[in-house]
Structure 1
């Protein structure tokens, strides 16, 4: 069995599980390449409407990059891998379909990066986030985290590398949803099913608009949304868009009408 398990837990939902629990789901370069390959395939599969990324076992979503692997490489190999990983992460964050991260345990370093790049992050009481780069003289997530939790909290987490639990992560917005009962997998699946039930073209454009937004003026973002709505998301007849509403309205009228 490979290090990335792929299954379909519900119609329209593809789940990708990092399956290296013996090393707390540390991300090797071959595994990251496989994740990229599977996502590229999923992007072109119209039967897949949403994706879940999870980690195997009860302990960790992902402890980050595989340090044992890195220790075996030369300085040049480490640099080459870092450049490749930069592109792999960028393709992940710009993946056109909605992604749910099921963060059931520890997410350190690259594990936190992977979760932050998802559209919806689901966690529970045992979730732990740490952005570790500052401890090693580096920097991670300066380009994204402030959009999720604000500038002040981003400086706190990135500069101190402190660990936060699921409750705090939910309170500050790093977790989108908190599974109070601890069943993160079930809560993530519910979120993915919700996403799979939405019109895929709308979610694709919403995601693209949000990613392209930072740094642009409010008016330019407003105009771009309207342009997309009138072209790529060309409106259908109102009777089609709100067919369910009109059907319910007619049913109520028939039920309440007197003979």
Structure 2
């Protein structure tokens, strides 16, 4: 509760001196607080459609609050040049049909949220993932990117996102909308050209192709091979990456600048 975290809200009214909080507990009895907490609403039940209704919203009970937060977040901050789109997790261990499991995230269980974050870490836009619908949505990741960037076209912003969202089709659409974007991509996606085989490349090597629409497809070999799509990078813009050898020494290897840009900008979303 606030800046003082206890395991359960009833602990603030505990008779144990180590837990009891005189400031909070003086305002009302614990049972009164519990009653208010259980009856707290941010939407009117009479306007909530039935679960079997086509218009039913899984977040309907908190939708007014979410909409207010979204509008406030956007209204009170001017976006930075570089922004990242990613999945984030709100930790939750209780029971909820909205709870997701993401083993690669620091927070593995909780509510999954799509986020657009500025370079300061500020969340400009977000959307809570409500799980798979009966009719599975195709290209969900691309839809999230297009929704978040809809009102940020032709404004010289640069967006970064990973291979969950990315494809050549999405890059082509972003190019048409005059939106600059870069990110990793799965090399099994459609419409990607052939590049050098891994066994023909050594550590630090990279290969690339440029489409007629000036969309760059690049492959770089490090300890593993990574693939990128970008509509704003020059493949000849090369930097240096430092790597540790098995004996503890360090070596410098060539590294495309787009990879450093990607790594430095994708840390914005938690």
TM-score range normalised by the length of the shorter chain: under 0.3
| Greater strand share, structure number | 2
**Higher Cα Rg, which structure:** 2
Please report the TM-score for the alignment, with normalisation by the length of structure 1: 0.27
| Greater helix share, structure number | 1
Please report the TM-score for the alignment, with normalisation by the length of structure 2: 0.26
Structure ranking higher on relative contact order (CA contacts 8 Å, 6+ apart): 1
